[in-house]
Structure 1
Amino acid sequence: MTAMTDDEQKEKLSSFVKRYGSPIVTGVLLALCVFFGWQWWEKKQTVSSSNLTVQYQNVLNQSQLAAVDDASYQKLTADANKIVQESPNSAQAVQTQLLLAKLAFDKKDYATANKILTQAETSKVKDKGLKSIVKLHLAYTQVAQEQLDAALKTLDGINNEAFIPSVAEAKGDIYVAKNDPEAAKKAYQQAWDVLVEREQPRELLQIKLANLGVLVEDPKIESPVLTPSQASANIPSES
């Protein structure tokens, strides 16, 4: 194959640029736009999330006073609703709704707590744990309203493995309220067995079982604190 002269190479390059130059430049520009656009979006999301966290923290800081002062409660409610309205599918919005529901629950305003938690259930937040917490709180709110069957149905909607003991214990509480001790024992025992396996003792659950005539042994939990005999055993002897 004969090598092209400099003039031929220049002419071929010029022809190539004329024919394909515009699409190539356009593609490069689009790629750059996508890249920098994505960086801007990530930065915007980070800033937005940080702002929401600050807003939630401000609401949280107001909660103690809001629990005893009506004017503070009204202000907290307004600030909290703003977070929920602006970013309904954010983790901060759901956390805010949980806080609002707790304040309402503590005031024995169970209808309002139910309404807030039911709304939180519709959030598209991706945190499955947070969604499970919402359902768990909703179930106990329904229990407070004597909606026992509805509470059981709500608990059935929790499929997060980490919440198995909490769901089982909550069901046990409901069966106690329904005057069904056998079902309560079974639910409590399920919760206890999982907690023992995870080495996460829960004294209140042990008391609930005892109240139903079920005595369980304390789980063996390895303690980071050595007993005197263990400590002395680890002291090297003098040679």
Structure 2
Amino acid sequence: MAIELLDEHEQGERVRDWLRRNGLGLVAGVAVGLAIIGGWQWWQRQQLAERMQAGERYQAALASLRAGDLEQGASQAAALRDGPYATLVVLDLAKAQLEAGDRDAAIATLEQGAGADPVFEAVRRQRLARLLIDADRAGEAVELLAGTEDVAGLEVLGDASFAMDRREEAREAYLGALRQLDANAPQRRLLELKLTQAGGTPPQPETI
């Protein structure tokens, strides 16, 4: 029994000795861990709050645009250029400007929205390219859409090339778009008509 008590005593002393030597580091480690967790939670709350505020500002800008107050809407949109709604509000503002008959303002708005949210970047480029074609600036539209591979982008690229009387390039773009469509795609018929107008022959879906 004495030996067992001595062993327990020795074990207790060893534990106390270890705590004396390592206690400060242990407490510091726990403190750092709690600080990291607290910092992460704070960052998440901040991100959520910022997203909610951006959403409210976007809705306010949208309301101004729908009410026809383009000046106020443009001012509110400018505050969102660096946030998650950046490209979306640019698209809305350009649409409102175009509906108000100011194509040049819409072009400028879409040009200034470059490099924003990549999710909407393709849409921004396509809308800008269509307006550039309408403004007799098809060459700029072709440059803007260089390297595009999606159906909508290739169609607009074909339109821009056709406007410049580059029919071979237009045919290539339209064919590239058709290759990605099945026989029942709703936009297929229009693309086939454009290809025919550019001097091409629409292929059968199974031979594309």
- The answer to whether the superposition gives a TM-score over 0.5 is yes
1:143 aligns with 2:133: yes
**Residues 115 and 22 of structure 1: CA distance in aligned 2, closer, same or farther (over 3 Å):** farther
Measure how far apart 1:169 and its partner are.
0.4
Tell me the C-alpha RMSD between the 2 structures. 2.9
Whether the 8 Å contact between 2:125 and 2:144 is mirrored in structure 1 is yes
**Aligned twin of 1:76:** 73
Q: Are 1:170 and 2:156 matched, yes or no? A: yes
Give the Å deviation of 1:139: 2.2
Matched-pair contact (CA < 8 Å) for 1:142–1:150: yes
Query: Percent identity over the alignment?
Result: 25
- Residue 104 of structure 1 and its aligned partner are, at CA, apart by 2.6
Report what 1:193 is aligned to: 179
1:107 and 1:43, CA in 2 relative to 1: closer, same or farther beyond 3 A? Answer: same
TM-score by length of 2: 0.80
What stretches of structure 2 of length at least 5 have no aligned partner?
Answer: none
Paired with 2:91 and 2:114, the residues of 1 have a C-alpha distance of: 11
Kindly indicate whether residue 49 of structure 2 is the aligned counterpart of residue 56 of structure 1.
Answer: no
Q: Is the 8 A contact 2:145 2:157 kept in 1?
A: yes
Structure 1, unaligned runs of 5 or more: 67-71, 221-239
1:95-174 aligned within 5 A: 95-123=88-116, 125=117, 128-156=118-146, 158=148, 164-174=150-160
| Count of residue pairs the alignment pairs up | 202
Cα deviation 1:7-64 (Å, max 9, x = unaligned)? 3223222221222111122112211221232122223212321332232233223333
| Structure-to-structure mapping, 1:175-186, within 5 angstroms | 175-186=161-172
Say if 1:47 and 1:172 are closer, same or farther in 2 by CA, change over 3 A: same
1:179-209 Cα offsets, whole Å, 9 max, x none, are 2233222221221221227x53204334423
Mapped to 2, the partners of 1:200 and 1:23 lie a distance apart of 67
TM-score, normalization by structure 1: 0.71
CA deviations on 1:121-173 (whole Å, 9 max, x unpaired) are 133x4xx3312222222322332333322221211254xx5xx1112101111
CA distance in 1, matches of 2:66, 2:181: 32
Q: Which residue of 2 aligns with 1:233?
A: none
Counterpart position of 2:46: 44
